[in-house]
């Protein structure tokens, strides 16, 4: 499983293929869970993940349209084509192509996050330079940060 995470496939791989990879570990409980998943068929969440995987799956791999009818041999063949059965799996290389509308939407989202420089403090807010609590803190007073420690043990050093 660590190879799967190291290669970057963990976030994209459908649950059917993750369980197929676990079933290869040789534990009978994993093999049984994988067989049961294949017999049960994909849930709605499984279908959504399969669709996401189809977006990032390399074009050299002949991926079925959905997980219905997937056999253990098919799952193992897909894992082999992805290179995940090797000792060192190949890393995920994700390239997205965006059309004009997608680019504009992405720029709109990015620009809404950019706050820019704030010119002046809004009215009614105290200055960041102001000291609260009035005056200097003594060494043995509680620290104004709220930690509950003495000032000399917290921020006074």
pLDDT tens readout for residues 142-152: 888 888 888 88
Return the exposure string of 40-67: e unless at least 16 CB atoms fall within 10 Å of the residue's CB, then b.
Answer: eebeeebeebbeebeebbeeeeebeeeb
| Alpha-carbon dihedral sign for residues 19, 24, 25, 30 | positive
| Phi, psi for 13 (deg, rounded to 5) | -65, 135
Check residue 1 and give its pLDDT.
Answer: 45
Task: Kindly report the pTM of this predicted structure.
Answer: 0.50
List pLDDT tens digits, range 75-98: 888 888 887 776 665 565 555 666
């Amino acid at each position: 499983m660590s190879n799967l995470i190291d290669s970057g496939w963990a976030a994209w791989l459908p649950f059917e293929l993750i369980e197929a990879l676990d079933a290869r570990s040789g534990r009978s409980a994993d093999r049984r869970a994988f067989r049961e998943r294949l017999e049960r068929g994909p849930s709605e969440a499984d279908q959504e993940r399969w669709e996401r995987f189809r977006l990032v799956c390399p074009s050299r791999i002949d991926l079925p349209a959905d997980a219905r009818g997937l056999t253990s041999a098919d799952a193992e063949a897909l894992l082999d084509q992805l290179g995940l059965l090797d000792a060192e799996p190949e890393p995920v290389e994700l390239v997205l192509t965006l059309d004009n509308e997608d680019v504009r939407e992405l720029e709109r989202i990015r620009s809404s996050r950019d706050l820019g420089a704030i010119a002046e403090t809004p009215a009614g807010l105290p200055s960041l330079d102001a000291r609260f609590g009035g005056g200097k803190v003594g060494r043995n007073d509680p620290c104004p940060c709220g930690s509950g420690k003495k000032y000399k043990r917290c921020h006074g050093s």
